[in-house]
């Protein structure tokens, strides 16, 4: 019998000389010999005919290892920061480790979806995660209890399932724990009431991932061939790009229309007062005023110059302005963009830091806000009661609404079981922890803290005034109107005022209405103030307005918006100009290609 084996000196397979059938220490059959060309020792595993009739020595047989007794409790989370914070609350009986995000995904080199077999996905542990999975598998085999404490959304549930599958965790010993905030009370409650894995959430995430892969895998190669390499398409990404491109084309095709406004400066007849009233023309002959050209304007001005002006009605009243609801992911991104100048990506990165925990002088990391990927405006009863107590102590009883506020989200398919984004402790004021936070962390925390506190406060109340001026001309009857409002009771605006304390236009208008006006009072025309205007094209999308549009149309999820914004810029589809998203030539080409050949997707 001729055997071949690899010769390390010749660096190729050679015929083995002096072949001898042997066994390894574990009883595995092998053959030992030398290279027939250079004489180097050779060794080859496997059973041959020469092993027939041979019996491995008794002391070389493989002995079954007795399983070690399990001990300790293993907790698995996504990030080291989260692991440190949770570990601080759980104590020495628990070992908390991080998976560093997802540990399995579809293979990048192929579709990895068996379309013929009910779209069955094929997952693989990436090379950079194999060491992590190996370590978790080892720890899981030694632990008497295993807790999966990944985030409480679809992605977190999917990470937990992939951990069970890839690290071969014992399902009988593995429990799921979820919490909306990383505080001692929330962590202890979650571990006292563990749950089972929610396969509906897992399958929802798998479904979205499979659809994303099917869309991207079909379209991206076409983009590489027709446009250039490195380009991608996606279920949410392509729709977002189309919105931006369609808006740009709408702007390019926009033709401005001319229109005119007319104001009148008046004062009471037979008075020496120099106080004047400025009112705006609203109706002509009972119809809403529309003046589209100088030609239409001139006869109206001529008629008004000779007309009789009289105060027909004075209305005084009050107006209520309700608080904003607490933040969800999209509204946080929008307000952070408007007030702080943060991109969606930056907002989520800073919020993640606040959620996972920061040392604020309590001897370790403390979670400062609740989970930041949410579309629910629900708030726990405990948090609401704490806010009411804080408001009473710091602002007074009149700032507490008689009924605890309840908010409903406008988001389609919102997961109402989650909570809104809020501080984990309302008593942890921004000022009290400012020295422990980086500037961006402080600014976002302050925004979240103020928004939540304001959402639990009384409405703001305004005094309103409206003056109707009737004008009788020779050709037509006209109506002019002056109105304004002033804050009577600030309510939630004492905490969260987007105007930053500046007077509103309504307040300025109210201040310009003189005292002493009375119904039936004749007014003298001082001057007419016609002004030409032109309609403006729709504004380009900002990140905030694009996220709002996607949310209103039920496109994407809170966890997808920030990455999508980043991809549009990174792929060169859009650029930012004055915080507005402007499509590039590549963006136009890719959008048109996808829209023409894959219209069912976008």
Active site residues: 371
d(CA 524, CA 107): 80
Contact by Cβ (8 Å): 419, 379: yes
Q: Which tokens is 258 given? A: 């001319």
Residues in the chain: 602
> How far apart (Å, rounded) are the C-alpha atoms in residues 160 and 103?
9
Three state DSSP letters for 286-318: CEECCCCCHHHHHHHHHHHHCCEEEEEEEEEEE
Among residues 218, 220, 230, 205, the alpha carbon closest in space to that of 121 is found at: 205
Helices (H), 234-289: 235-252
In terms of DSSP H, where are the helices of 109-234? 127-142, 154-166, 184-192, 199-226
Q: What 3-state class would DSSP assign to 47?
A: coil
Q: Which residue has the tokens 């006006």?
A: 517
Task: Give the residues across from 267 on adjacent strands.
Answer: 524
CB 364 within 8 A of CB 345: no
Three-state SS for 536?
coil
Of 523, 516, 569, the C-alpha closest to 542 is 569
How many beta carbons lie within 10 A of that of residue 123, not counting itself? 16
Q: Is 481 helix (H, G, I), strand (E, B) or coil?
A: strand
Q: Quick one: tokens of 129?
A: 């995660």
Q: Exposure of 215 by Cβ count < 10 A (0-12 exposed, 13-18 middle, 19+ buried)? A: buried
Residue 581 backbone phi and psi in degrees, to 5:
-95, 120
């Amino acid at each position: 019998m001729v055997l071949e084996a690899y010769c390390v000196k010749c660096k190729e397979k050679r015929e083995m000389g002096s072949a001898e059938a042997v066994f390894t220490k574990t009883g595995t059959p092998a053959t030992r010999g030398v290279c027939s060309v250079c004489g180097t020792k050779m060794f080859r595993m496997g059973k041959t005919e020469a092993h027939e009739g041979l019996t491995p020595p008794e002391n070389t047989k493989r002995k079954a290892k007795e399983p070690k007794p399990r001990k300790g409790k293993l907790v698995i989370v996504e990030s080291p920061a989260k692991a440190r914070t949770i570990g601080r609350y759980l104590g020495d009986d628990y070992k908390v480790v991080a998976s560093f995000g997802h540990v399995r995904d579809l293979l990048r080199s192929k579709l990895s979806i068996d379309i013929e077999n009910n779209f069955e996905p094929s997952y693989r542990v990436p090379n950079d995660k194999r060491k992590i999975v190996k370590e978790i598998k080892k720890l899981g085999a030694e632990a008497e209890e295993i807790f999966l404490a990944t985030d409480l959304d679809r992605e977190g549930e999917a990470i937990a399932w992939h951990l069970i599958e890839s690290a071969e965790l014992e399902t009988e010993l593995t429990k799921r724990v979820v919490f909306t905030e990383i505080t001692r009370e929330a962590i202890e409650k979650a571990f006292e009431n563990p749950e089972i894995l929610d396969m509906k959430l897992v399958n929802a995430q798998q479904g979205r991932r499979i659809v994303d892969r099917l869309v991207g895998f079909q379209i991206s190669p076409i983009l590489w061939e027709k446009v250039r390499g490195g380009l991608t398409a996606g279920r949410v990404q392509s729709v977002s790009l189309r919105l931006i491109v369609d808006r740009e084309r709408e702007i390019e095709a926009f033709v401005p229309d001319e229109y005119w406004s007319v104001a009148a400066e008046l004062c009471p007849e037979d008075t020496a007062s120099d106080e004047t009233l400025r009112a705006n023309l609203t109706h002509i002959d009972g119809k809403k005023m529309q003046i589209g050209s100088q030609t239409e304007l001139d006869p109206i001005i001529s008629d008004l110059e000779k007309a009789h002006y009289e105060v027909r009605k004075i209305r005084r009243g009050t107006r209520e302005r309700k608080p904003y609801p607490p933040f969800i992911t999209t509204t946080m991104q929008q307000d952070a963009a408007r007030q702080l100048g943060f991109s969606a990506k930056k907002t989520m990165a800073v919020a993640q830091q606040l959620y996972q925990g920061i040392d604020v002088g309590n001897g370790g990391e403390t979670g400062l806000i609740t989970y930041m990927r949410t579309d629910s405006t629900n708030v726990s009863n405990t948090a609401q009661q704490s806010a009411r107590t804080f408001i009473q102590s710091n602002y007074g009883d009149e700032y507490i609404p008689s009924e605890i506020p309840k908010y409903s989200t406008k988001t389609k398919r919102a997961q109402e079981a989650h909570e809104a984004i809020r501080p984990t402790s309302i008593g942890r004021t921004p000022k009290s922890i400012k020295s422990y936070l980086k500037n961006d962390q402080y600014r976002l925390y302050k925004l979240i803290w103020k928004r939540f506190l304001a959402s639990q406060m009384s409405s703001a109340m305004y005094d309103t005034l409206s003056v109707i001026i009737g004008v009788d001309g020779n050709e037509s009857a006209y109506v002019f109107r002056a109105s304004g409002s002033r804050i009577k009771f600030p309510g939630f605006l004492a905490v969260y005022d987007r105007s930053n304390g500046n007077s509103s236009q309504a307040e300025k208008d109210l201040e310009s209405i003189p005292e002493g006006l009375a119904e039936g009072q004749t007014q003298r025309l001082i001057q007419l103030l016609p002004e030409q205007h032109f309609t403006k094209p729709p504004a380009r999308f900002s990140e905030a307005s694009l996220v709002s549009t996607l949310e209103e149309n039920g496109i994407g999820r809170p966890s997808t918006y920030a990455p999508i914004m980043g991809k549009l810029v990174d792929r060169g589809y859009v650029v930012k100009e004055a915080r507005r998203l402007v499509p590039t030539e590549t963006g136009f080409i890719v959008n048109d290609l996808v829209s023409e050949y894959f219209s069912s997707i976008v």
